[in-house]
Structure 1
């Protein structure tokens, strides 16, 4: 699979602004969150920013791998589940955070684990958008988002190569 024609490079500054904007929208929700469940790896950075802005101290990860070579989605694999305490009440009062919902496959998998949780993503594509409760920017389905942690002056291959997810 080749890279999409449309590219959306995101700088650290822009990502930080967008993640803070997400926190503002969530703060206006007038809810008190018990915990954040961030979808790794992409959800780690926005979860750190949102947790700071909303003063949420309990952060859990759910590790779902779908992109195995940075270009194509493969079979979904849950590498680490969610602690049983946070699964109680079907995730009511839990905030799920991710950087992007693309096809919605990962979002659907995590939503099935926490059906009553509130799902927030910084960016959303049309196929994944119906699974997200709150997001900041929608981009077209055929756009590839280049996140700042994936970039140097040009795309950087990860240091450790292989299929570790």
Structure 2
């Protein structure tokens, strides 16, 4: 794995998992109680699942997408799904909006507006991310790491972005799946 620099932050699985649990601890220590976790897919799915388990609250999922060009390194137009997926009822009460990072702040800002406009049962929304870049126009309520130099974050699951089904046998033989 490459080393991190001002331009790139390389995150190992251990670092990633520690950031998720550290963020959960930070929110717990704040004393704020929430009724549901709303994670933004795809980046917020892994933290959302873990938070739902730790805090024993329902998990809601909202799909968003803006990084589609040049293998996910160039931000395009933001797409927000029309519906939130939740197993019972609808999005309501105090909601923790969870994503992996805030870069420009556009996604966080637009999703917060989307929730307020479309879910009248939501009484409060607070946001949380693992990484908060200084270039963001929005400051999340909770964050694990503040990145003043705005590096590109290389997360451990990015290895799957270029893996295709016909490559799985070779991947397993090589030991990359371990």
Q: Deviations over 1:97-156 (max 9, x none)?
A: 10001100110111112353010001111132634100010124541000111037xxx5
Q: Is there any run of 5+ residues in structure 1 with no aligned partner, and where?
A: 161-165
Q: Aligned runs of 1:96-107 on 2, under 5 Å?
A: 96-107=97-108
Q: Aligned runs of 1:16-55 on 2, under 5 Å?
A: 16-55=17-56
Contact in 2 for aligned 1:35/1:94 (Cα 8 Å)? yes
Distance 1:132 1:5, change over 3 A: closer
Q: Does 1:157 align with 2:162?
A: yes
Contact in 1 for aligned 2:135/2:150 (Cα 8 Å)? no
Question: SS of the residue aligned with 1:26?
Answer: helix
Q: How many residues were matched structurally?
A: 149
Query: Aligned-pair distance for 1:80?
Result: 4.4
Q: Distance in 1 between matches of 2:131 and 2:84?
A: 23
Please say which of residues 29-38 and 123-132 is displaced more in the overlay.
123-132
Q: Is there any run of 5+ residues in structure 2 with no aligned partner, and where?
A: 117-123, 166-178
Q: Does 1:148 align with 2:156?
A: yes
Provide the residue aligned with 1:79 in structure 2. 81
Please say which of residues 116-125 and 24-33 is displaced more in the overlay.
24-33
Query: Aligned-pair distance for 1:159?
Result: 3.2
Question: SS of the residue aligned with 2:96?
Answer: strand
Contact in 1 for aligned 2:106/2:137 (Cα 8 Å)? no
Q: Distance in 2 between matches of 1:11 and 1:51?
A: 23
Provide the residue aligned with 1:61 in structure 2. 61
Q: Distance in 1 between matches of 2:163 and 2:77?
A: 20
Contact in 2 for aligned 1:22/1:50 (Cα 8 Å)? no
**Greater Rg by CA:** 2
Q: Aligned runs of 1:84-163 on 2, under 5 Å?
A: 85-86=90-91, 88=92, 92-115=93-116, 116-128=124-136, 130-140=138-148, 142-151=150-159, 156-157=161-162, 159=164
Distance 1:36 1:5, change over 3 A: same
